[in-house]
Chain A
Amino acid sequence: MNRHFRFRKFVEWANWVGMLCCISVSVFFLVAILGYVLVHGASYIDWEFLTAMPVPAGETGGGIANALVGSFLVVMVASLMALPIGIGAAIFINEFPSHGFGRTVRFLAEVLTGVPSIVVGLFAYALVVVPSGGFSAFSGSVAYAFIMVPIILITAHEALRLVPDSLREASLALGIPKWRTIMGVVLPVSSRALITGAVLAISRALGEAAPMLFTAFGNSFWNVNLTKPIATVPLLIYTYATGPYDDWHQKAWAASFVLLVVVLLTSVLTRAFLRGNSNE
């Protein structure tokens, strides 16, 4: 073994240690935060918490049922709007290249990721609430969709970009029309990264409270009507976390724990559901 080889082995080892440090830092914070939420929140959760309505100040018990259902509805409608727009635009930028236009769209998406969520909420307020004269769950979905589209677009674009051209050309050479190539070859191949992007966007939306202040508004009562104000989990967490009572703080942690479980389930289920199509 000559010196140069030993040096290269040392570099290899040093970098392995370095990467290990990086992942350790990530895992450390992961455990610290998730652990904290678990410790403070898990004990409060029972069947009542998940199925009962919120109770007013000064009373214990009660739950977050209306917020759970509300968040589900609002985020689902938002995803139905954001996923086609984000993925469709990414497909357009990557599969139908047209110099300036595609780059502009991608650039705008990058800029939009930096818009604070409260500004998005105000935009949705001006766009939907003011013309319709009142708060509604739908306006909340619009706000969430606005936050989700840039994340989905950028992730999808990167995912599509990394599909090798050889696959596309092989498909086209077989006479398959372009659109079916995209739908049947390109998308499935990049599906895992697409799903990651979708899950990141959905979990981001599930956790944002600020846009809801002026759109979905919140509701102390049960509501599943999209044209009326609706309760959402992050807003409830915010209200409870900033209140004076210890009982409320506990509920905030417990609700956060529930939110995390929902995100985990979304992540696991979407992947399990689409496992057959991906190109592992």
Chain B
Amino acid sequence: MAGDEVTLETLHRALPGVKPVGARRQVVNLGDWLFYIVAKSLALLVIVLALLLVADLCRGASEAIRQFGLKFLVGTTWDPVTHQFSTLPTVIGTLVKGFIALLLAVPVSIGSAIFLTCYTPRWLRPVISYPIELLAGIPSIIFGMWALFAMVPVIRVIQIWLKAHFGWFFLFDGPAVYGVGVLSGSIILFIMITPIITAISKEILLTVPRAQIEGMLALGSTQWEAIWKVALPFSRIGLFGAVILGLGRAVGETMAVTMVGGNSFAMIHSLFDPVHSMASQIASEFSEATYSLYVSSLIYAGLVLFGITILISLMAQFLIWRISKGKLALLD
């Protein structure tokens, strides 16, 4: 049989009686069947719970939806006194802060993960990676308090300097002296999501087969070339998953970003303007929302946030699909 490819088919032809895996029949005995049923039910449970959440949100938002319809998404007034609600400023606030946070977090966290896995001696790894996981577990209120007491004064100084020297640039043409605002909110989000992405990326990078890396090195590549051409493409999809988790946290984070975001309902024009994100607005106003349209509008905002997350996830899926369609063949 020299020259034959070793494929599943040839294997199974050689060993009759062993059923093919990955083909239509996937379960062959009682144990497998039970396992399959249990696993499938658990997966179904996830779908059911997600649908229940959406249904609950829709039910809660129904009064606001009937009242405002789609104007809710494009208006700029949020006025609890006159019963006028719309979310465009907070949608923009959420997206801008999340985007900036991600822009900063992705290189830093993946860079850190690469450094941890490829350039750090083995004994040093846990010393750094355990505290990084620890950071992921700090309550958001503590992040918020640290940011307000320790970070915001520093940001304020930076903002004043930026405004003095580059105030003509629209991004820096804002109330620098507040300290709280888009910049502070984005930076605290960046600090909060980096540990998550780093921790997961580290695990993903550690599963790259050593053989592949060593093969590259044996062929004379530098360490970096081995990472760039082998490790990263191999773990591309997993790293994307890590980034998605970080993005989820960035978009849904409430407490920390409320404490340093400035929390204004107006549209933002610069990096220094105060702004609300949708999650922080919902959390801030919910306990005191005194009448049903108010509560319903807040839940409507939650539904809109959910919709935005779906859109972002869809875009991410599309990106993955485009990437994996390309030159993936060499390693999969």
Contact = CB atoms under 8 A, between A and B. Distances in A.
Interface of A: 8-9, 11-12, 15-16, 18-23, 25-27, 29-30, 32-34, 36-37, 84-85, 88-89, 91-93, 95-97, 101-102, 104-105, 107-119, 122-123, 126-127, 146, 149-151, 153-155, 157-159, 161-164, 168-169, 172-173, 175, 177-180, 182, 192-193, 196-197, 199-200, 202-204, 206-210, 213, 234, 237-238, 241, 252-253, 256, 259-260, 263-264, 267-268
B152 interface: no
A262 to B, nearest CB: 9
A196 B200 contact: yes
Contact of B200 (A9, A110, A158, A180): A158
Contacts of B132: 26, 30
Contacts of B31: 177, 179-180
Interface of B: 8, 11, 15, 18, 21-22, 26-29, 31-32, 34-36, 38-40, 42-43, 45-47, 49-50, 52-53, 56-57, 60, 107-112, 114-116, 119, 128, 130-143, 145-146, 150, 191, 194-196, 198-200, 203-204, 206-207, 209, 222-225, 228, 235, 237-238, 241-242, 244-245, 247-249, 251-255, 278-279, 282-283, 286-287, 299, 302, 305-306, 309-310, 312-314, 316-317
B224 A11 contact: yes
Given A29-B135, A210-B255, A252-B145, A118 B18 contact: no
A157 B34 CA distance: 21
B200 to A, nearest CB: 6
Contacts, number: 313
13 contacts: A16-B223, A22-B107, A22-B111, A37-B138, A108-B50, A111-B50, A116-B252, A154-B245, A162-B204, A172-B21, A180-B31, A208-B139, A209-B139
A8 B219 CA distance: 14
A237 B247 CA distance: 26
Contact of A105 (B43, B238, B287): B43
Contact of B142 (A19, A104, A256): A256
A234 B256 CA distance: 13
A168 B29 CA distance: 17
A107 B45 contact: no
Contacts of A164: 209
A127 B283 CA distance: 19
Contacts of A18: 111
Nearest to B26: A96
Contacts of B22: 97
A123 B53 contact: yes
Nearest to B27: A178
A188 B82 CA distance: 59
B114 A19 contact: yes
B207 A89 contact: no
A172 B32 CA distance: 12
Given A118-B279, A178-B32, A158 B204 contact: yes
B47 A114 contact: no
Nearest to B203: A193
Contacts of B235: 162
Given A33-B135, A192-B203, 12 more contacts: A15-B228, A18-B111, A26-B198, A30-B131, A32-B150, A92-B39, A102-B43, A113-B247, A114-B309, A172-B18, A192-B206, A200-B136
Contacts of A25: 108, 112
Contacts of B139: 206-209, 234, 237-238, 256, 259
